[in-house]
Structure 1
Amino acid sequence: MSKLSKKLIIRITLVLSAVFIVSLALNTYFLPKYVLYQQKQKLAEVSSHVLSMEKKRLLEEIAELEQTYRVTIVYADLAESEDQLNDRLKTRLNEKRITLSRFWLTTDNIDTLREGGRVNKIYDQPKLKSNFLVNFLPMEGNVVAVGESIPYTSDTISMVNQFNVYIWSGALVVLILLSVLFTTRIVKPLAKLNETAEAISNLTFTKADIRTGDEVEELAERINSMSTKLESAHVTLEGKNEELRRFIADISHELRTPLALIKAYATGIQDGLDDGTYTEIIRNKTDDMTEMVDRLLLFSKLQVEPYTHAPVEIRQLLTGILDTYRLSFEQQGLSVQFEDLLPPEGGMVMADEAKLASVFHNLLTNAMKYTADETIRVRAERRVGVFHFEITNAVGPSARSPVDWDHVWEPFYVMESSRSKLYSGTGLGLSIVRTILEKHHAIYGVRPDADEVTFYFSLPFMDHHSDPEIVRS
């Protein structure tokens, strides 16, 4: 039996026992007093009715009153002596089969009645195991006694209490059995929920199958929903941790290589092996490390800094950036085919212009470094209310595996060596692109084909019927 079941059964037993004890005390100590009080109230009502009647009418209706109220009514002349008066009343009570061994009106009682007052008495009759409650009333020189016999209640109450003990004992046994049954039905689903919660705490994201049709089932549904969300969050966190571990390993490798070269050439200078180029090589590697640190700082900054969104004329921004790259492309022996399918009026998008320009810069630089031929295709067009941008370049044999593209957005991921060491970068360009586009809630992706790859993204055009405003996010 579970702890909860024991607690419920013990508490139910204690409550039932307390109710029984209170009931027993009330029956034993308060019920006799209550019965006597009710009888006194009844006699008081009958007495008031009798006093409202004339003597002649009362004598005519005594039998009817006794039948109606189930009382005994006798009378005697107040002018008689004390003994005669008491004998008269006793005789008339005996005639009505009321035999009292202890019945007497004292001189003081008689004087009170002669003065117009009432006398109330209760006579204990131990042999008859009863009490006789009487109201003595003065009426036109007579005394009228209105009485009722009240049996002792102690024996009756004792029998009732004894019977109640049997009833309450049986009820207690039945209630305990029912409590065991019901608490088992309640506790069993709770035990399942406890097992599920314990499994979740151990990162085993199970679910509880509970069909009770009540709040317990609703609780199970909430826990199952929580388990699903925690599992998703755990998987995401594990993925982030794996990315972080890979990121640390990659950055360690990227920094260790130039540091090793710097150390080697510094040692060469120290040993007198410098042919005049060692210092230049050390300076170049230092510049590479500085650029990498700057890019890392930029990458980190892009994750947290606010973005200032404002209307940007997208064609003007794109063509301006392409113009700045024409000389670099020519120096590399590359050509850019720009397919401008935007409407004549161009189009406005809500974006952080500087960061959107960084996206174009990184995508163009990436294509310049890794293209396998001399042509890079750029396409800009309007698609169902959005600005769509694509940049396509050929790829070498080592970059044609579909699996490799799953990690292309990760920091320091390199699919193949750059075609030009002059433009070799830090491996953070596409990670920066992803971060900026996600902050703009843009749709983006990579589409590899047989011998080429296309990077693309889309941003919604502004509604021309709304006033442009600056938005920070």
Structure 2
Amino acid sequence: MNKLGAKIAISVSAVILSLLVCLLLVSHFFLRPYYLHQTKQRLLQISQELADTSTENLPRKIESLNQQSDVAIVVVPRSQSLDALNEYASHLLARQGVSLNRFWITAEVIRQLDSRHSVNKIYDQMKQKSSFYVRYITKGNDIILIGISLAHMNEIIQMVNQFNGLLFTLALVIALIWVWAFSRRITKPLDQLKRAAQEIADLKFQQVAIQTNDEVEELARSINQMSQKLQQAHQELTQKNQDLKRLTADVTHELKTPLALIQAYSMGIKDDLDDGTYLDTIISQAERMSSLIDQLLSYAKLEQDPLHLTLCHPVALWESCLAQHRVIFETEKITCRYAEPPQPDQWQIRADPEKLKMVFHNLLRNATKYTDNGQIKIHWSAGEQHLFLHITNGLARETKHLNHIWKPFFVLDEARDKGRSGSGLGLAVVKTILERHGYSYNVKQHGGWITFTIGMTLVPLTDQN
């Protein structure tokens, strides 16, 4: 038995033992007085009934009480001598089956009756191991004797205490067995929860299966939820640490080349090797580094900048961004086929317009840079609660690790030609902004085409006012 089970068993046993001792003490000291008090009250009630009964109805009342209860009631006249009075009373009691070894009405009893009209007496019958409790009352010129036999209380109390001792010993044994089983039922799931908590502390995220239909089961569910969420948070943290390491390596890679060029051309100037282009190269590489740092700062601020949400028309925002890219399409000789949606003004979303424009511009720049066949296809689709924008461009080669495309510095051009691939932050910016809005995003590649889809939550017409 574990510590908690032992505590429960000891506590319950102590309570039962304390109750047993208290009951034995109460029985020993208070049972006899209580029994005598109840007997006295009973005789007092009967005597009150007889006192309230008229003289004509008294014999009938006495006969009724003698038949219905275990008391003996006799009436003796006071005109007799004490000897005659006692002999007559004993005779009447004997006729009711009450045989007494010790019984005597004394002159003191008669004097007390004259002064207060009622007297209580107990006659110990010695070897008969009983007593005779009598209440005397006067009614007219008669003395009414109301008596009841009492067994000797000391022996009864002793027997009761012995019986209670045996009974409570048996109850204690049964209680201990029950407490052991019950505490086992309680502590067993608690042991499981303790082991699960230790496993979670060791980053071994376990689930416990406990069905007790009580608070322990609710606690188990809470621990399971905590384990699940901690596991998810741990995985996310691990992934973020890996992303941070990769980001550090990528930033180092991005800065290494311009720094090396700046150093090399600076040494060339120092050695008088400048042909008139060295400073231009240094300036361009410095601008490239500055641009990269600005992009990194902007990307870092995205999760901190507050969103200024407002109702807006996403199609109108998209078409304004698309119009700005028309010149690039003409310059790059890219064919863009855009399917305008019917009644676009009916679609409204709650978003930050400036942040959403960043998403649209980055998606357009990404499609422009990576189209292999010089074609871009764009169309809209809508469901009951969501609006989807699909942007497709040609991509002949199969992209490895397509699910990594949303990560910072991941570029499709493995040669990392900056004239084409850029910094690799564009889709990471798209992902961050969409997640902050609670919008969905995905990418699929099939048959020489790659399609980016973003899903925006529509605002119902009833909520647009």
TM-score normalised by length of structure 1 = 0.82
- Kept in 2, the 8 Å contact 1:388–1:458? The answer is yes
Q: Deviations over 1:353-405 (max 9, x none)?
A: 322322232223223333445x23242345557665444444465xx23x332
Shift of 1:141: 2.9
Aligned-residue RMSD, C-alpha: 3.5
Shift of 1:260: 3.7
Identity across aligned pairs (percent)?
36
Which secondary structure state, in structure 2, belongs to the residue aligned with residue 41 of structure 1? helix
2:84 corresponds to which residue?
88
Q: Deviations over 1:130-186 (max 9, x none)?
A: 333222222333433333332221111101211221222122222222332333333
Counterparts in 2 of 1:346 and 1:52: CA distance versus 1, 3 Å: closer
1:449 corresponds to which residue?
446
Task: Map 1:153-192 to 2 at 5 A.
Answer: 153-192=153-192
Task: Map 1:16-415 to 2 at 5 A.
Answer: 16-53=16-53, 58=58, 65-74=65-74, 76-78=76-78, 84-85=81-82, 87-95=83-91, 96=94, 98-99=99-100, 101=102, 103-107=104-108, 109-114=109-114, 117-212=117-212, 216-217=216-217, 219-314=219-314, 316-331=316-331, 333-343=332-342, 348-350=347-349, 351-373=351-373, 375-383=374-382, 388-395=388-395, 397=397, 400-401=398-399, 403-415=400-412
- Kept in 2, the 8 Å contact 1:371–1:419? The answer is no
Letter in 1 for 2:334: S
Counterparts in 2 of 1:127 and 1:213: CA distance versus 1, 3 Å: same
2:422 corresponds to which residue?
425
Letter in 2 for 1:34: Y
- Kept in 1, the 8 Å contact 2:102–2:124? The answer is no
Please give the alpha-carbon distance, in whole angstroms, between the structure 1 residues aligned to 2:307 and 2:430: 14
Shift of 1:41: 1.6
Please give the alpha-carbon distance, in whole angstroms, between the structure 2 residues aligned to 1:381 and 1:53: 108
| Structure 1, 188-197 or 384-393: larger mean CA deviation | 384-393
| Structure 1, 157-166 or 184-193: larger mean CA deviation | 184-193
Counterparts in 2 of 1:37 and 1:263: CA distance versus 1, 3 Å: same
Letter in 2 for 1:255: L
1:437 corresponds to which residue?
434
Which secondary structure state, in structure 2, belongs to the residue aligned with residue 308 of structure 1? coil
Please give the alpha-carbon distance, in whole angstroms, between the structure 2 residues aligned to 1:42 and 1:178: 43
TM-score normalised by length of structure 2 = 0.84
- Kept in 1, the 8 Å contact 2:131–2:152? The answer is yes
Shift of 1:423: 6.2
Please give the alpha-carbon distance, in whole angstroms, between the structure 2 residues aligned to 1:321 and 1:59: 121
| Structure 1, 296-305 or 98-107: larger mean CA deviation | 98-107
Please give the alpha-carbon distance, in whole angstroms, between the structure 2 residues aligned to 1:131 and 1:146: 14
- Kept in 1, the 8 Å contact 2:121–2:133? The answer is yes
Shift of 1:18: 1.8
- Kept in 1, the 8 Å contact 2:370–2:420? The answer is no
Q: Deviations over 1:117-142 (max 9, x none)?
A: 32223344545443332222223334
Shift of 1:407: 1.0
Shift of 1:436: 2.4
Please give the alpha-carbon distance, in whole angstroms, between the structure 2 residues aligned to 1:167 and 1:263: 99
Please give the alpha-carbon distance, in whole angstroms, between the structure 2 residues aligned to 1:208 and 1:325: 57
Please give the alpha-carbon distance, in whole angstroms, between the structure 2 residues aligned to 1:460 and 1:178: 59
Counterparts in 2 of 1:206 and 1:62: CA distance versus 1, 3 Å: closer
Please give the alpha-carbon distance, in whole angstroms, between the structure 2 residues aligned to 1:344 and 1:164: 92
Please give the alpha-carbon distance, in whole angstroms, between the structure 1 residues aligned to 2:323 and 2:68: 121
Q: Deviations over 1:92-114 (max 9, x none)?
A: 3443254454745345x433433
Letter in 2 for 1:105: T
Please give the alpha-carbon distance, in whole angstroms, between the structure 2 residues aligned to 1:138 and 1:50: 10
Please give the alpha-carbon distance, in whole angstroms, between the structure 2 residues aligned to 1:453 and 1:63: 115
Q: Deviations over 1:3-59 (max 9, x none)?
A: 222122212211211221122122111111121112112221232233345667656
Which secondary structure state, in structure 1, belongs to the residue aligned with residue 409 of structure 2? coil
Please give the alpha-carbon distance, in whole angstroms, between the structure 2 residues aligned to 1:11 and 1:297: 65
| Structure 1, 10-19 or 110-119: larger mean CA deviation | 110-119
- Kept in 2, the 8 Å contact 1:133–1:147? The answer is yes
Which secondary structure state, in structure 2, belongs to the residue aligned with residue 203 of structure 1? coil
Letter in 2 for 1:88: A
Counterparts in 2 of 1:370 and 1:51: CA distance versus 1, 3 Å: closer
Shift of 1:250: 2.0
Shift of 1:215: 5.4
- Kept in 2, the 8 Å contact 1:112–1:119? The answer is yes
Letter in 1 for 2:106: L
- Kept in 2, the 8 Å contact 1:132–1:149? The answer is yes
Count of aligned pairs:
458
Please give the alpha-carbon distance, in whole angstroms, between the structure 1 residues aligned to 2:440 and 2:34: 86
- Kept in 1, the 8 Å contact 2:265–2:282? The answer is yes
- Kept in 2, the 8 Å contact 1:334–1:376? The answer is no
Q: Deviations over 1:74-107 (max 9, x none)?
A: 5555456xxx42x234323443254454745345
Please give the alpha-carbon distance, in whole angstroms, between the structure 2 residues aligned to 1:355 and 1:418: 30
Which secondary structure state, in structure 2, belongs to the residue aligned with residue 410 of structure 1? coil
Shift of 1:430: 1.2
Shift of 1:115: 5.0
Please give the alpha-carbon distance, in whole angstroms, between the structure 2 residues aligned to 1:205 and 1:216: 19
